[in-house]
Amino acid sequence: MAKIIYSEKFEKYTYGANHPFRLDRGRLFLNSAARLSLIKDDDILGTGTGSEEDIRLFHTEEYTEILKRANSGEIEAEFLQYGIGLPDNPVFRGIFDVALLHTSMAKDAFLNFENTDRIFVPVGGLHHAMRNRAAGFCYINDAGILIELLLRAGKRVFYIDIDAHHGDGIQSGFYDNPNILKMSFHESGKTLFPFGGFEDETGSGDGKYYNLNIPLNCYADDEIFLFLFKNIFVPIIEEFNPDVTVAQIGVDMMSTDPLTHLRLTNNSYTEAVRIIRDKSKRLIAFGGGGYNPDNISKGYTLAWAVLNDVETDDYYSATLGGTFMGSQELSVSGLKDMNLFVSGPEKEIATKEAERILYYYKENIFPFYGIK
């Protein structure tokens, strides 16, 4: 069955009192899963020790040294050109120690994936970090480090990202590599950081058509997301036939996330995780983003249940009609959100955009994979 890779050491660090990224997100999930008896002590694998050499699998030596210098928490002007010390990526004491923790879990996932079909790393999925720069709350790219390890072991890798923010660090790091197929579903770069990830960013050189983006318009809901996910992810992963799937399953697509503009609930999120599970020979999933603590605890718990083929009856299910207003709650009790249906002009615009994206894939991407 599935295993978790986690370290309690994360819980003693913080980006700062007012920063939206919580390093205790793993604890939110573990407490939630424990309350429902969905987790046992032997489900959690111990973590080893990450090294500078491991960080340099993805990041440059120069950047690694800068990150190491920042560990004291003292700001230096030189850090800014590497994205460190900006509001999104503040300097804090232990910043390099945290990077090593992320690195150790990526390496442990690699060391264990052939003995464990499904692995969940709740604190991770730092998909914005570039090879030589921090960005978007991400100082190192743990998924990138894992992918490098898998590629060097000769594995064929599929990276699927359902975080609301485009996985630009993974895209940039492997843009010309045909041995990893990168697919990101996210809110359109027209309205959300990192302001890219459009459908025509399809890779370069030998990696042409191995970088796939599916941007979602503002107000896209469960119906629109699953329409695109089932019609694009499913046929392409079946044709690519990877040895291992690396997933970033952030929970910030949810309607109640404070930093994004989509209208999903954890119902479509859970269904997407289930499809990823079913289509993967082996799966390593990172928790990714999400800035509503309730979404983190419930979403990750639902994902963990799916990874273990467990159905939990602890849920509330109802229907909310019309356009969602951000002040409303989507969940009264239990794990599952009420169903949410967006209507009106916003739904019409988002639907037409989704249809345009699917048409683009049928005309430009599917022929490359022999999909009719």
Sequence-distant (6+) residues with CB within 8 A of 361 are 199, 214, 231, 232
Is 165 marked active-site?
no
Q: What is the DSSP string of 192-223?
A: STT----TT----GGGTTSEEEEEE-TT-BHH
Map residue 83 onto helix, strand or coil: coil
In the beta sheet, which residues pair with residue 8? none
Place of tokens 């909310």: 320
- Give the span between the Cα atoms of 290 and 260, in whole angstroms: 9
Q: Indicate left, alpha or beta for 290 from its phi (over 0: left) and psi (-120 to 50: alpha).
A: left
First to last CA, the chain: 35
Peptide bond into 194 cis (omega under 30): yes
CA distances to 27, 106, 139, 161, 238 from 145, in Å: 24, 7, 12, 16, 25
Name which of 106, 114, 43, 54 is nearest 248 in CA terms. 106
Choosing from 59, 102, 128, 166, which is the catalytic residue? 128
- Give the span between the Cα atoms of 224 and 363, in whole angstroms: 20
- Give the span between the Cα atoms of 107 and 103, in whole angstroms: 6
Active-site annotation, residues: 128
